[in-house]
Copies of this chain bind each other. A is one copy, B any other.
Amino acid sequence: MTRRTVEPVDAEDTGTTETKSARTHARLLDAAAAVLAEKGFAGTRLSDIAERAQVQAPAIYYYYPSREHLIEAVISSGAASMRAFLERTLAELPDTATPTDRIAAAVEAHLRHELELSDYARAVVRNANQIPEEFRRAAITEIGGYYEIWRGLVEDLRAAGQLRADVDPSVGRMIVLGSLNWTVEWWDAQRGPIEGVIAVAQSMVLHALRP
């Protein structure tokens, strides 16, 4: 019995060679992410997770020693996934990409991952400060890493003389991230294609930061 360590976004390439155990485990983690994203930390019931994963609640204890461990695994996995997705996106940019290009790409990555791809990311974002300290132990490095990347993006912009003087880098970064994070609260597919939101967000973020 191994814990699922690959981030769920990659889960698509797991073929039919998966064992039954691995499949149940994945269903469980996915279900937990979905419930956590929807109901929030305190509202997340094991019975809801179990129902969604199509097992009985005690089956969870075959894979995780407690509710706490399961939630921690979701947050951990979600945070790692967000960071990996952003890192990969940035890595794929050509060397000629400017700080501005990179921020635009980061905005798109953040929104796509959060809105389109992953309950895990939504679980992380929506429960950011709702979850007790001890549930985040394992995720703190990842979350810190994610914020660090953004810090770097803003710093690069500043170094290139492209950050407006009246924007404190730290506050500016949080305001940008806030506007992106909050999209989970209002955007849904019926509101139109995600590309529309991405384009507006990119434009607004860059105008907000640059001279």
A201's closest neighbor in chain B, by CB? B175
How does the 8 Å CB contact mask read for A177-211 relative to B, with 1 for contact and 0 for none?
11111110111000000001101110111011100
Q: Which residues of B contact A186 (CB under 8 A)?
A: 129, 174, 178
Chain B proximity of A177: nearest CB distance (Å): 7
Check if A39 is an interface residue, CB within 8 A of chain B. yes
Check if A159 is an interface residue, CB within 8 A of chain B. no
Q: Which residues of B contact A201 (CB under 8 A)?
A: 171, 175
* Total number of A residues with any Cβ neighbor in B under 8 Å: 38
Contact A200 B182 (CB under 8 A): no
Chain B proximity of A39: nearest CB distance (Å): 7
Check if A166 is an interface residue, CB within 8 A of chain B. yes
Q: A174-B186, A182-B178, A182-B179 are in contact. Are A166 and B40 (CB under 8 A)?
A: no
Check if A41 is an interface residue, CB within 8 A of chain B. yes
Q: A174-B183, A179-B178, A205-B208 are in contact. Are A166 and B41 (CB under 8 A)?
A: no
Can you list 22 A-B pairs with a CB-CB distance of less than 8 A? Answer: A40-B41, A40-B42, A40-B130, A41-B42, A43-B130, A129-B186, A166-B199, A167-B203, A168-B196, A171-B201, A172-B200, A174-B182, A175-B201, A175-B204, A178-B179, A178-B181, A178-B186, A181-B182, A181-B185, A204-B209, A207-B208, A208-B208
